[in-house]
Structures are given as C-alpha cells and as structure tokens.
Structure 1
Amino acid sequence: MTKIPPAPLVLGLAGLIPFVWGALTTHMPNLQAWGATHLGPRFVGPYIQLFYGSVILSFMSGVLWGFATKTSGLRATMGYALSVIPALWAFFMTGGGPTSAGINLIYGFAGLLLLDYAFHMWGLTPGWWMRLRLLLTAIVISCLAIGVYL
C-alpha cells in the first residue's frame, strides 16, 4: 500500500462529518437540541447518519463502476454487476425503522469493504485505496454502531 494523497484523504475525512455528528448528537442532548434548532431535525442523530449513509453507499457504487471501466470482458461484466450492489443495498435495506436501517448500513459498509478489496485485488484501484477505505470504513461503522447499539 502506498501513501494516501492529501486530496482524497482530506475529502474522505470531511465526508465522515455527518457520521460523527450523528453519533455525537445521538448521545449529547444539548448538542442535539442545538442542531435540531439551527440545522433542522433531520440533520441530527440517527436521521443524518441513515440518510447520508444511503447516499454514500450509492456514491460508492459509482466509484466501483468507474473502476470496472478499467478492465474488459468477463471481469468488467462482473465489476459492473458488483458495483451496483451498494446502491441496491441502500435502497432496499434502509427502511423499517432507525435500528434495522442502521444495522443494515453497518452490513452494507462492511460488504462494500469486501467489494473494495476485490477491485483492489484485480488491480483496478490506486495503490493507496485500501488504506483509505479501511480508515473510513472503520470510522463509519463505529459511528453507526454508536447510533444503533449505545
């Protein structure tokens, strides 16, 4: 694995803000009240985590699709097919209430990491990809787990 370039690292870390904010506002009533008043009730607690998590899983489907364009034949077909799984997972598995949606997002991000690894092993990702994805996924899953289990 090579060093993560500054731009993807900074942007990736910035993309964690809604997950971290959601975890904080789930367990800090004063912060949740401030956020609900100034940002709106859908931008605090599990609401922001669940909505943003669905958006990010869909975004990552697009990223994987882009990686699939770097190959051809059966591997490309497999790559395209696998790349739509995170978006479909978010679409079908985030209903039914905040607890089940949060648990399903945790599984979705864990599954996404497996897909990242497959694309990495096929040589379709930058050398630093797995280092970045491991870091971001660990934080996302931790924040979602705070919202679901604590």
Structure 2
Amino acid sequence: MRDIPRMALVLGIAGLLPFLWGVLTRFVPALQDLTLATVGPRFVAPYILLYYGTIILAFMSGVLWGFAARAEGQAASLGYALSVIPALWAFFFSGTGPVSTSLYLIAGFLGVLGIDWLFWSNSLTPRWWMALRVPLTIVVVACLSVVALG
C-alpha cells in the first residue's frame, strides 16, 4: 500500500465513510436515532448503504472508461464495453428491495474488481491500482453484507 499515491489512498478511504456510517447506524441505535433526528432517514442503514453503493458502482464505470481509453483497437472496444457494465448493473438491479439490492451490489462490486484486474493485468491502470482496489472492495462488500444478511 505504500506505493499508492497519498491522495488516492486518502480519497479511497474517505469514500468508505458512508458505508461504514451505514454499518454504525445499523448496530448503534443511539447513533441511528441521532442521525434520523438531525439529517433524516437517507443517512441511516440500509438506505445510505444501498443508495451510496449504487452511486459508487456507477462511478466506477467512469473510472473504467478512463482506463479503456488507454487501450487501442479491439482491446479499447472491449474495455469500453466492459466499462459501462457497472453503471448498467446499478441501474437495472437497484431498487429491488434491500436484501436483493445489496446482493446485486455485492455482485457488482466483485465484478468491477474482476474488470479492474483485467485492466491492471493489461497495464491499463497504475501499477498500484489493485493494491488500492482489493482492500476497498473487501470493506464495501463487508458493509453491504450487513444489509444482505439482515
């Protein structure tokens, strides 16, 4: 992890905060009550986990598109096609109920990790990319599992 640029690491970890907040509000009733009273239901579990997860999954399409732009020819075409899958996945499979949406999001984030690996193994990402993506994905999947498992 020490090869990851500091700002990329800081922003990656900061991007986990809404997921972690969702878990906290799920298991700490006082925190859930305080959050409901101050900022509303959108910022407690399961809502924050599912909505933010959907947004981030769609965001990852843009990241992947940027990597696909580094390829040429058929590899670029495949890269562009793969890069839109996370956004389409988020669009078609969110809003299906908390448990099913969380399961679909988990599958989506694991799928993105597979696409990340494919792009990384073809030198389309920075060398440190997987060192960042694997731990972030583990935390995201663990947090979404809170909703999936009830």
- Tell me which interval the TM-score lies in, with the shorter structure as reference length: over 0.9
- Cα-to-partner distance string for 1:107-145 (whole Å, 9 max, x where unaligned): 110111000000101110000000000010000001111
**Aligned residue number for residue 149 of structure 2:** 149
Paired with 1:56 and 1:134, the residues of 2 have a C-alpha distance of 15
Structure 2 runs not aligned, ≥5 long: none
- When normalised by structure 1's length, the TM-score is 0.96
Paired with 1:114 and 1:39, the residues of 2 have a C-alpha distance of 36
Report the alpha carbon displacement of residue 54 of structure 1 after superposing the two structures with TM.
0.7
- When normalised by structure 2's length, the TM-score is 0.96
Paired with 1:93 and 1:65, the residues of 2 have a C-alpha distance of 21
Structure 1 runs, 4 residues or longer, greater than 6 Å off:
none
Structure 1 runs not aligned, ≥5 long: none
Paired with 2:28 and 2:97, the residues of 1 have a C-alpha distance of 21
**Percentage identity across paired residues of the two chains:** 55
Matched length: 150
Paired with 1:99 and 1:118, the residues of 2 have a C-alpha distance of 29
RMSD (CA atoms): 1.2
Q: In structure 2, what residue type is equivalent to 1:10?
A: V
Report the alpha carbon displacement of residue 2 of structure 1 after superposing the two structures with TM.
6.9
| 1:116 equivalent in alignment to 2:116 | yes
Paired with 2:2 and 2:42, the residues of 1 have a C-alpha distance of 38
Q: In structure 2, what residue type is equivalent to 1:114?
A: G
Paired with 2:146 and 2:34, the residues of 1 have a C-alpha distance of 20
**Aligned residue number for residue 84 of structure 2:** 84
Matches within 5 A, 1:88-99: 88-99=88-99
